[in-house]
Amino acid sequence: MGRKPISEFDVRLREEIARNLLKVTKGKTQSQISDLTGIPASTLSGYFTKRSTITEENAQKIADAFHIDKSDIDPRFKPNFKFFDDQLTDKHFELVKESEIKYDLKSMLDGAVSFDGKKLSDKDKAAILGYIEGRMNKD
């Protein structure tokens, strides 16, 4: 059984992370980066070739080794990173609207967690649901 396809967001994220890693590591080999960070070279290879998305822990290890902030590697850690405004397009909301018969957004949000793995608060769920419903009903 093959891997499931990744989202457009993940494709773009992996591309940006790979570009940032090349810039940040300044020509060091993956083996040298592995020695500096303790991250296996095979894992690093996945990040550089866009086959996998970097973990927060590994972004921090690389950032520490190169004396930078992890947001210089992964844009999700930038304080001004706006997932909804910058990454989702009207196409995404059209797809959600088309499939709303199949999916109940409220029940989907019940299992949602934040980036750090904690359950979303009721306030966060309401804000996300309101945003999605607002975009879906946009004329």
Least confident of 16-25, 49-58, 117-126: 117-126
Mean pLDDT of the chain: 80
Least confident of 16-20, 88-92, 134-138: 88-92
18-22 long-range contacts, Cβ below 8 Å, gap at least 24? 18/47, 18/48, 18/49, 18/50, 20/72, 20/73, 20/74, 20/75, 21/47, 21/48, 21/62, 21/73, 22/48
Residue 108: how many other CB atoms lie within 10 Å: 13
Give the residue from 79, 64, 67, 77 showing the smallest Cα distance to 17. 77
Whether the full predicted model's pTM is greater than 0.85, yes or no, is no
pLDDT score of 85: 47
pLDDT score of 122: 78
Least confident of 7-16, 50-59, 65-74, 120-129: 120-129
Confidence of residue 84 (pLDDT cuts 50, 70, 90): very low
pLDDT of residue 41 exceeding 80, the answer is yes
